[in-house]
Each structure stands twice: as C-alpha cells, then as structure tokens.
C-alpha cells in the first residue's frame, strides 16, 4: 500500500487541477502503526479501524458525510444494521452462486453485495433517500 498511497498523494501535489482536488481517507488497523513504515505521511489525517467492520463503517461514513456534504447518508447504526443483514445472508448468496465464502475474490464479493443491494430495495428506498 505505501507505493500506491504515495502515488495518490503525489498526484494531489503535482497532478492536474482535477487530481489536486481529490480527497482521500487513509485507514489502518492500528493508530500510528504507519509511522513504522511511512514516515513521510505525517500531516495526513489517518484513521484507525482497529480491525473492526463497525469502526471502519463509522469512520468512512463520517468522512463521506463531511467530504461529500450530502445530508442523505444514513447514520452508522443504520449502515451497520444493513451490513449485518448482508453478512448474515452472505452464506446463502455464496451457496446459490456456487462460491466458497472463505475463498471469495474481491470481485465476487462486490458482485454478491451489488445483487443483495438490488434485492433489498425496500430497505434501500427507506434508508437512502434521493
């Protein structure tokens, strides 16, 4: 990750006007762990998710709310509840797709999540106002 992150941060300094307006959220499992391998990243607002999906959801949701200025982003409780429903349904989705839950590729996980979100329209329309 350090190389890719460095490229992204470099684009914000030396890139086009569009690249300079980019915003990024940097997450790590432990606060200040990055200092051991990325000393030049000081000054960036690095958040810790503590290997907790609920904490990661909370951090990302708050960041998106501030950066996007959207008022329609549901609160972390609603997002965590929806994520829990998806996680509980994931074994069924894997079985229906002939996939092993413990060996999902990222692209497969995304496809299953997208399919589940489409099927969960009733909750989606209530939580995510347009």
| Per-residue pLDDT at 125 | 62
Residue partners of 41: CB distance under 8 A and separation at least 6: 5, 9, 26, 34
Residue partners of 19: CB distance under 8 A and separation at least 6: 11, 12
| Per-residue pLDDT at 25 | 74
d(CA 78, CA 31) in angstroms, rounded, equals 26
- In this predicted structure, the answer to whether residue 130 has a pLDDT above a threshold of 50 is no
- Write the pLDDT tens digit of every residue in 22-69: 777 777 777 666 555 555 555 556 677 888 889 899 988 988 898 888
Binning pLDDT at 50, 70 and 90, where does residue 113 land?
Answer: very high
**For a pLDDT cut of 90, what percent of the chain falls above it?**
33
d(CA 104, CA 64) in angstroms, rounded, equals 27
């Amino acid at each position: 990750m350090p190389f890719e992150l460095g490229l992204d941060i470099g684009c914000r300094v030396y890139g086009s006007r569009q690249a300079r307006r980019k915003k990024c959220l940097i997450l790590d499992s432990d606060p200040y762990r990055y200092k051991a391998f990325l000393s030049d990243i000081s000054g960036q607002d690095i958040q810790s998710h503590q290997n907790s999906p609920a904490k990661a959801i909370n951090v990302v949701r708050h960041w998106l709310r501030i950066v996007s200025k959207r008022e329609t982003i549901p609160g972390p409780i609603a997002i965590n509840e929806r994520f829990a429903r998806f996680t509980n349904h994931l074994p069924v989705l894997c079985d229906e797709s002939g996939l092993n839950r413990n060996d999902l590729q990222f692209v497969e996980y995304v496809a299953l999540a997208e399919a589940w979100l489409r099927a969960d329209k009733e909750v989606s329309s209530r939580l995510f106002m347009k």
